[in-house]
């Protein structure tokens, strides 16, 4: 899967593709079937891992059949049952028994999102390491500080990099706090009625849910068909990431302007060219990262809108609007995360231009310092304060959350 109109989407690879969603839903069905057998609810003959029954070539068939029932799980089940009949008729009869479509679709989405968050965490770690190097290595590199687009007071590039680092650390911590998504096992109306009837015991019904979640490596919680905080929380965490990346990209875009020339993207042959102007070298990574940061909040807002529209025991449209929205947000976040990691790894800090721009901004840029300490020589205001800010960010970076 690759999106022609979202350049860089191929960086997300097989994450959260249609094929990945089908595979995740089959895994969820297989885990439930195994739980039924393990707890003696289904006969031992029903055991089947469902391996090899579905592949990427089945996506068009399932997609074409999804409209009739309003979700892709219904045609997927029909296809799996048909193929399973010839190899294990008992398993075919027990497949999906006691569940509802939302159980498997939600759990499939959760499995896909888990893979996405793992990838994003890896890229955040790379970004943290790069920013630690930049902040520490440029703690004494003086440059103009700017507020409201105008010169403010002298700062160091190390301070700017530590501010970027703080945003990345905030995103890292937010993602760590929301990324553990639960399995969804509730039955038709979120009451576990069918599993309890199958098992002959509400206690065993809950054990079935716990076993299924454990097999998938997911936590278990009460049915959340209409309580969508797990997904809205993760969507918000992904936007926190794109916010932090967008903030970095914005500074690079300003710093890369020819008249500023304080920052530039690492040169990669063929990247950043113009179709009409061979003299141009556009900061294309920063442009694409900024694009993702601008688009992501509205996708998260749609996930929230779906949660707010939840009604009765299963939503009518509010649930459905989440699926492609989450996939789009997830893949775009992965893409932007990889682009930001590459941007920071190759970022060129033009120290001579920082020095020249600071000199050109004087004496006005030293006005605050002169007003506080009259007669002081131009230089870094408030010696030691910037060092403390940088050191605090570096210390926090060393504390990786579980």
The answer to whether 68 is a known catalytic residue is no
217 contact partners, CB below 8 Å, separation of at least 6 = 114
Distance from chain centroid for Cα 23: 20
Cα 372 to Cα 396: distance, rounded to the nearest angstrom: 31
105 contact partners, CB below 8 Å, separation of at least 6 = 25, 71, 72, 73, 323
Cα 378 to Cα 369: distance, rounded to the nearest angstrom: 8
Do residues 333 and 9 touch, judged by C-beta distance below 8 A? no
Secondary structure of residue 179 in the 3-state scheme: coil
Helix axes 157-178, 385-397, angle to 10 degrees: 30
Distance from chain centroid for Cα 288: 16
Element (H, E) at 34: helix 18-38
Cα 41 to Cα 30: distance, rounded to the nearest angstrom: 15
Catalytic residue among 93, 121, 314, 396: 314
Cα 236 to Cα 175: distance, rounded to the nearest angstrom: 9
Cross-strand pairs, 348: 264
Name the nearest CA neighbour of 124 among 171, 89, 160, 68: 171
Cross-strand pairs, 263: 349
Token reading at 146: 């700017």
The answer to whether 228 is a known catalytic residue is no
Cα 109 to Cα 299: distance, rounded to the nearest angstrom: 16
Catalytic residue among 2, 274, 324, 362: 274
The three-point CA angle 225-121-265 to 5° equals 130
Token reading at 204: 């065993």
Q: Tokens 């504390």 sit at which residue? A: 399
Cα 261 to Cα 29: distance, rounded to the nearest angstrom: 56
User: Which residues does the annotation mark as catalytic?
Assistant: 274, 314
């Amino acid at each position: 899967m690759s999106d022609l109109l979202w350049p860089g989407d191929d960086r997300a690879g097989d994450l959260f593709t249609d094929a990945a969603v089908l595979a995740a839903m089959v895994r969820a069905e297989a885990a439930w079937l195994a739980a039924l057998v393990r707890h003696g609810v289904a006969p031992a003959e029903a055991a089947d891992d469902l391996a090899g029954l579905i592949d990427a070539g089945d996506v068009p068939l399932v997609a074409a059949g999804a409209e009739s029932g309003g979700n892709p799980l219904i045609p997927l089940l029909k296809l799996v049952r048909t193929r399973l009949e010839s190899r294990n008729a008992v398993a075919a009869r027990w497949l999906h028994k006691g569940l509802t479509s939302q159980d498997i679709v939600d759990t499939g989405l959760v499995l896909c999102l888990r893979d996405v968050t793992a990838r994003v965490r890896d890229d955040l770690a790379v970004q943290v390491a790069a920013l630690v190097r930049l902040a520490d290595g440029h703690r004494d590199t003086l440059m103009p500080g700017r507020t409201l687009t105008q010169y403010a007071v002298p700062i160091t590039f190390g301070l700017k990099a530590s501010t970027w680092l703080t945003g990345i650390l905030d995103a890292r911590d937010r993602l760590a706090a929301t990324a553990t998504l639960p399995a969804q096992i509730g039955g038709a109306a979120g009451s576990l009625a069918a599993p309890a009837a199958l098992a002959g015991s509400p206690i065993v019904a809950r054990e079935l849910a716990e076993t299924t979640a454990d097999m998938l490596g997911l936590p278990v919680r009460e049915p959340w068909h209409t309580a969508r905080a797990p997904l809205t929380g993760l969507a918000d965490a992904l936007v926190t990431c794109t916010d932090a990346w967008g903030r970095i990209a914005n500074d690079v875009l300003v710093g890369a302007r020819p008249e500023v020339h304080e920052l530039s993207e690492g040169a990669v042959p063929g990247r950043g060219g113009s179709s009409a102007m061979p003299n141009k070298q556009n900061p294309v990574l920063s442009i694409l990262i900024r694009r993702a940061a601008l688009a992501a909040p509205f996708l998260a807002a749609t996930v929230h809108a779906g949660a707010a529209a939840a009604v009765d025991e299963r939503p009518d449209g509010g649930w459905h609007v989440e699926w492609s929205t989450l996939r789009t947000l997830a893949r775009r976040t992965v893409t932007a995360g990889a682009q930001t990691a590459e941007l920071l790894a190759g970022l060129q800090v033009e120290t001579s231009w920082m020095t020249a721009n600071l000199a050109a901004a004087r004496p006005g840029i030293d006005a605050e310092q002169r007003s506080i300490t009259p007669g002081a020589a131009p230089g870094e205001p408030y010696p030691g304060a910037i060092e403390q800010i940088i050191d605090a960010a570096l210390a926090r970076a060393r504390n990786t959350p579980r």
